[in-house]
Amino acid sequence: MTGGATGGDRVRYLRYRPGPDPLAPPFDTAGALRGLGRGVFAGKRPHQALRDLLRQGVQGTAGTDELLRQVQERREQVARRGGLDGVLRRARAELDRAVGMELRALAADPSDDARIRESELASLPHDTAAALRHLLTEPYPWRSDEAREAVARLLEDVRNDFVDARLGWPGARRARGVQGSRGALASDPARVAAMATALAALLEADAHGEPVDLDRFMAGHGAFFPEFAEHPRDLDDLAEALARRSAAARAHASSLSPDRRAELEGLIGEATREAGLAEALDRLADALLRRRPDLVREAFAEVDGARELGLAEAVDLIEELAELDELGRALGGGLGGGGFAGRGGLDGVDGLDGVDPAVAGRLLGPEAAEAVGRLAEVEPRLRDAGLLTGGRSRPRLTPQAVRQLGEAALRDLATGAEGRRAYRSGGHGRAQDRASGRAQAQAGDPGATVPWEPGSPAPLDAVATVREAVVRRAADPGSPLLSPEDLRAVETEERTAAAVCLLVDLSSSMVRGGLFGPAREAALALYTLVGARYPQDAVRVVGFDETARPLSAADLLEAAGPRVQGSNVQHALLLAREHFGRHPGRAPVVVLVTDGEPTAHIGRDGSPEFAWPPRPETAGKTEAELDALAAAGATVTLIVPGVGEAASSSAGEAASGLTGRTASGLTRAVTARGGRVVRTAGAGLGATVIDAYRSRRPRT
């Protein structure tokens, strides 16, 4: 359509074609990596974390779980659309109407012949096909022309419905739409039979490796396939839609009871007796099935609706149900019974490769197509950005991804509300930095800043001060434009190097409490902070359960092994002491994260010994390691996660309880040696770890 406009401009109106939203925000690769990282921190392998990310959705689009819910909801709606035997009910109603018209014509005739015919009509079989066979085998001499024409229309309608059910959209229905309500397919069954025979022969020849002349076939029968405006790409292209339609027609028949199926086959046989139409279409269906045996459909016995569907409408319904089941399986659905059985491709991450956004859009709507498109690009985008490597079924995070996850973890701790509260509580963290998206300033940089303190001779840094105020106001819009805590001064003092050891409990209790992921994320954030802001410090992270072992930054993103009981704090403290021995002259800092008492220690033979309840020997060996650290000048900050809002205690508070709890053996041992105990909610664990490190590292 065109329309006039000022200056003689012309406007063209084109048909709407669904596609990606041009106003949609660009793909957030960093956000996708962050979502993937949450699963990896929790101990999942990258392919498992990626699968979970796709299940949850990205950037506000539906994930596969939501799409599966929509598939199931749509499936239930389709299954209630109508009954599968509606063609038999319609045919019986039309036949009864024709018989009624004939009986009215016979009632006006007082002859014995009329009574005999009335008796014959009254004794017609209830089976519609058998009744028609009785009337057609020895042609019944109709008295009513209207009745005779009604039976002829009934047979013609069943034949047309049968052709439509077998050829379906876009062939038969579209041809009828172009050529009229009857068209060539309805008025010339011989032509349909010739096309079906020729296409079956073409498929059979191709299956035997013989050459096929597709051009010749299209020249003779192209009118049946108007969807191919010029020419199909190949024989598979031509056969694909017909194969799906044929499979749906077979599934429709198998969904009927044996009696109704036999009645339908008989009805179709009577309607298509001429020109060998049924035989030709059956031969074509067999050839299509041999070409696409994967399209064999199971019965859909759950279909049950009040509306009486014609044969083509019923096959439409079956075809849509089959497509919904295919979509459900591809999305990872595992419903059994009347749903999509089995597991889909998401078990191997690349399952969305088999999901066509156009199909999802046609079945569920344009938003589903957009969601499938977004989900399908998650993994390729991460790979293109250099964040994932390895095979499709077992992807791996690259060093660049590890670095970015560390920066993101540190940035979240520095800018999040939990992080700010943890940093600012108790007066600790006077030297904390705000993480930005870029690497932190290196040690000794003249641009590095620290919180300004009254009486400090260091000059104020206006840019850093404004940045702090903006970050604070973003989290709390009602706060003042400028607060004393926003003030930043240029750092001029020299730093003393530290040897820091973070000891993280990775036992099964931490996993059960949901603390495993936050603990590993906190450790990666510490690695990132030290590497970027305090490169002169020597940092070591030790993970422990029944035994303790050093963990690199990459190790923190490895999949979790089997859950192991036991918290061997003694072994972890021993590895910390060894770390300090390798870095003499650096101030020792120990941060210990555990949610329970020590329950394991290293025995005389060097193997771990676990006991519950804890044995006195375990407590004694743990306290001996604390004594050795204290002798080396190291103080321990014990962080107990998962117990509510952050609170701290010192040696003097140990006797009266910690945040309302009776002091445990470990907390008493730590505080008795000048250490500090901090209890924190799981969400604040990372910020508490960073604060403990920053507040304990020495400054000169």
Residue range 380-422, pLDDT digits in tens: 888 888 888 888 778 888 888 888 888 888 877 765 444 444 3
pLDDT in tens, 649-672: 433 333 333 333 334 788 888 888
CA atoms 608, 612, 615, 619: torsion sign: positive
Structure confidence at residue 454 (pLDDT): 67
Residue 500 confidence (pLDDT) above 80: yes
Render the burial of 65-102: b for 16+ CB within 10 Å, e for the rest. Answer: ebbbebbbebbeebbebbbbbbbbebbbebbeebbebb
Structure confidence at residue 333 (pLDDT): 58
User: Among the residues of 208-309, which ranges form H helices?
Assistant: 214-221, 235-255, 258-271, 277-291
CA distances 256 to 21, 262, 271, 301, Å, are 43, 9, 19, 7
582 C-beta neighbours (distance < 10 Å), count: 10
Radius of gyration of the chain (CA): 39
Structure confidence at residue 456 (pLDDT): 62
18 C-beta neighbours (distance < 10 Å), count: 13
According to DSSP, the residues that pair with 505 across neighbouring strands are 544
Residue with the larger pLDDT of the pair 485 and 629: 629
Amino acid identity, position 70: Q
In whole angstroms, give the CA distance from residue 537 to residue 535.
5
Contact 646, 689 (CB under 8 A): no
- Which CB contacts under 8 angstroms, 24+ apart, belong to 281-286? 281/162, 281/163, 281/166, 281/167, 281/192, 281/193, 281/196, 283/196, 283/197, 283/200, 284/166, 284/196, 284/197, 284/199, 284/200, 284/203, 284/242, 284/246, 285/166, 285/246, 285/249, 285/250, 286/200
Most confident of 252-261, 292-301, 681-690: 252-261
In whole angstroms, give the CA distance from residue 307 to residue 290.
34
When pLDDT is averaged across residues 228-242 and rounded to a whole number, the result is: 77
569 contact partners, CB below 8 Å, separation of at least 6: 503, 505, 544, 592, 594, 598, 622, 625, 666
Q: Point out the least confidently predicted range of 148-157, 478-487, 590-599.
A: 478-487
In whole angstroms, give the CA distance from residue 209 to residue 198.
17
Residue whose C-alpha is closest to residue 458's, from 429, 482, 498, 494: 494
Residue 279 confidence (pLDDT) above 80: yes
Residue with the larger pLDDT of the pair 295 and 600: 600
Structure confidence at residue 203 (pLDDT): 93
Structure confidence at residue 221 (pLDDT): 85
Structure confidence at residue 275 (pLDDT): 67
Instruction: Give the CA angle between residues 206, 211, 215 to the nearest 5°.
Output: 95
Q: Point out the least confidently predicted range of 34-48, 315-329, 544-558, 610-624.
A: 34-48
CA distances 568 to 514, 546, 548, 549, 591, Å, are 20, 5, 7, 11, 15
When pLDDT is averaged across residues 103-123 and rounded to a whole number, the result is: 92
Residue 686 confidence (pLDDT) above 70: yes
Structure confidence at residue 407 (pLDDT): 82
Residue 370 confidence (pLDDT) above 80: yes
Structure confidence at residue 455 (pLDDT): 60
Contact 570, 618 (CB under 8 A): yes
560: DSSP letter: P
Pair type for strands 2-4 and 10-12: antiparallel
Residue with the larger pLDDT of the pair 17 and 362: 362
Residue 282 confidence (pLDDT) above 50: yes
In whole angstroms, give the CA distance from residue 341 to residue 695.
57
Contact 549, 510 (CB under 8 A): no
Residue whose C-alpha is closest to residue 286's, from 317, 247, 326: 247
Q: Which domains does the chain have, with CATH numbers?
A: 86-299 (no CATH), 418-490 (no CATH), 498-696 (3.40.50.410)
Phi, psi of 590 (to 5 degrees): -120, 125
Structure confidence at residue 601 (pLDDT): 87
Structure confidence at residue 374 (pLDDT): 86
Instruction: Give the CA angle between residues 169, 170, 174 to the nearest 5°.
Output: 100
Residue 542 confidence (pLDDT) above 70: yes
Residue 183 pLDDT grade (very low, low, confident, very high; cuts 50, 70, 90): very low
Structure confidence at residue 432 (pLDDT): 36
Q: Which tokens is 632 given?
A: 């080396």
In whole angstroms, give the CA distance from residue 156 to residue 273.
11
- The SS3 call for residue 588 is strand
In whole angstroms, give the CA distance from residue 67 to residue 365.
11
Residue 533 pLDDT grade (very low, low, confident, very high; cuts 50, 70, 90): confident
Structure confidence at residue 208 (pLDDT): 92
34 C-beta neighbours (distance < 10 Å), count: 17
In whole angstroms, give the CA distance from residue 339 to residue 337.
6
Structure confidence at residue 10 (pLDDT): 64
Residue with the larger pLDDT of the pair 420 and 138: 138
314 C-beta neighbours (distance < 10 Å), count: 29
Q: Point out the least confidently predicted range of 163-177, 240-254, 340-354, 422-436.
A: 422-436
According to DSSP, the residues that pair with 538 across neighbouring strands are 499
* 3-state SS track over 529-547: HHHHHCCCCEEEEEEECCC
pLDDT in tens, 452-463: 666 666 677 788
End-to-end CA distance of the chain: 80
Residue 16 confidence (pLDDT) above 80: no
Structure confidence at residue 48 (pLDDT): 84
When pLDDT is averaged across residues 251-268 and rounded to a whole number, the result is: 89
Residue 147 pLDDT grade (very low, low, confident, very high; cuts 50, 70, 90): very high
Mean pLDDT value across the chain: 78
Structure confidence at residue 522 (pLDDT): 85
Contact 317, 85 (CB under 8 A): no
The answer for 344, left when phi > 0, alpha when psi is -120 to 50, beta otherwise, is beta
Residue 683: Cβ-neighbour burial (10 angstroms; 0-12, 13-18, 19+): middle
Whether residue 25 has a cis bond before it, omega within 30° of 0:
no
Residue 531 confidence (pLDDT) above 90: no
Structure confidence at residue 386 (pLDDT): 86
Q: Which tokens is 513 given?
A: 């409490």
Helix (H) or strand (E) holding 466: helix 462-475
Structure confidence at residue 655 (pLDDT): 33
Whether residue 518 has a cis bond before it, omega within 30° of 0:
no
